Amino acid sequence: MRHFFTTKVKVLLAAAVLLAAGLAVASNLTDLSVGQMFVQGVLTPLRAGASALTAQAERLYDYIFRYESLEAENISLKDQISQIQDDARDAESIKRENDRLRDLLELKKNHEDYQLVDGYIIARDSNDWTHSFTINRGSSSGIEEGMCAITESGQVVGLVTEVGSNYSVIKSILDSSLEISATISASGYSGMVKGGYVTGNDGLLMMEYLPSSAVIRNHDQVVTTGSTVYPRNLILGYVIDAGFTDTGIAKFALLRPAADMSSLEQVFILTNFSTE
């Protein structure tokens, strides 16, 4: 009989006794039967788990709803920003046009004989030796081949070389084949201006056939000498460098064009002017 109850059995019996005693005490304190307490002990963890799952589902729903709301708000904000940017671009474009018209009024005030037709650039073509662009005005607006194109400030842009009913092609002064008789304003030295066709000078103008004794200074203004195509004193560019030709008997000057060809939006065609 000494070994009838093993250690494990004794431990289990002791635990059962303690559990029964605990349940009896708890039953007396809570007025619940032992069966009710057992059921509550089983259901409470399940209820807690279900409650946790419900809370998690609610949080997930709130997150999805809030995400969709934020996504819609984000799209709306992007649309508003895009509209603001469009409005800003329109306002800047209107400002540039107003500035051009203001300068044009000043030009026409100083040159009442100028008859001008405006046109917007709609296409550009630039190769190694040629520079031209197309505007949205043509013969129906009174434009003809051989007319001069200028900016609103009287800067030479180029020459009309092709005309359709509603378009014109203008060869810019950067084109190496276009030559214009010109004068250095400060000194009166004359020469011919054409596109700076030397490698590396494709964005510059070159004034050739200047006297070897000519004193040429940087920033000197170069203007048109005057002809039946180009009125007198239209601005061509400004001297940035000078030197002797290979023969050494004449000088040349490199010019920065007065008109910024890369940013041109609108030009004005001189359809008529006084040559006096």
Neighbours of 269 (CB within 10 A): 24
CA distance 87 to 100: 20
With 0.85 as the threshold, say if the pTM is over it. no
Angle at CA of residue 253, ends 249 and 259, nearest 5°: 155
Position 1 scores a pLDDT of 44
User: In the prediction, which pLDDT does 12 show?
Assistant: 57
Element (H, E) at 240: strand 235-244
Rounded Cα distance, 114 and 111, in Å: 6
Q: What residue ranges define each of the domains in the chain, with the CATH number in brackets?
A: 115-276 (2.40.10.340)
The single-letter DSSP state of residue 122 is E
Q: 72: which 2 tokens?
A: 């819609």
DSSP code, position 119? E
From 102, 153, 111, 161, select the one nearest 131 (Cα to Cα). 161
Cβ partners under 8 Å of residue 215, min gap 6: 187
Phi and psi torsions of 197, nearest 5°: -75, -10
Low-confidence ranges of the chain (pLDDT < 70): 1-53, 55, 57-58, 60-65, 67-68, 87, 89-90, 128-129, 197-200
CB distance 142 to 271 below 8 Å: yes
